[in-house]
């Protein structure tokens, strides 16, 4: 958790756009919702910062013309 906090803090401080994703959620027993909860409950990102990652994902998706939610 401390290492995650350091990494995300560095990204935010340097204005590096990033998204939150899951790799193999069925194998790792996670979901995007759980990843957001982990970041928020441990004070790694604020709610505003999490919402910014969602907007970055929508803006940079390769699936053009599809509504993402």
Q: Supply the pTM of this predicted model.
A: 0.80
At residue 58, φ and ψ (nearest 5 deg) are -65, -40
End-to-end CA distance of the chain: 28
Q: Which DSSP state fits 42?
A: T
pLDDT computed for residue 65 by the predictor: 64
Answer whether 42's CB lies under 8 Å from 5's CB: yes
Answer whether 18's CB lies under 8 Å from 59's CB: no
Residue pLDDT, tens place only, 15-64: 999 999 988 777 778 899 999 999 999 999 999 999 999 999 999 887 76
């Amino acid at each position: 958790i401390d290492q995650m906090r350091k990494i995300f803090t560095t990204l935010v401080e340097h204005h590096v756009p990033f998204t939150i994703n899951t790799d193999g959620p069925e194998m790792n027993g996670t979901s995007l919702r759980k990843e957001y909860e982990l970041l928020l409950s441990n004070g790694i990102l604020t709610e505003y910062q999490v919402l910014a990652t969602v907007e970055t994902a929508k803006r940079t998706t390769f699936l053009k013309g599809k509504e993402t939610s």
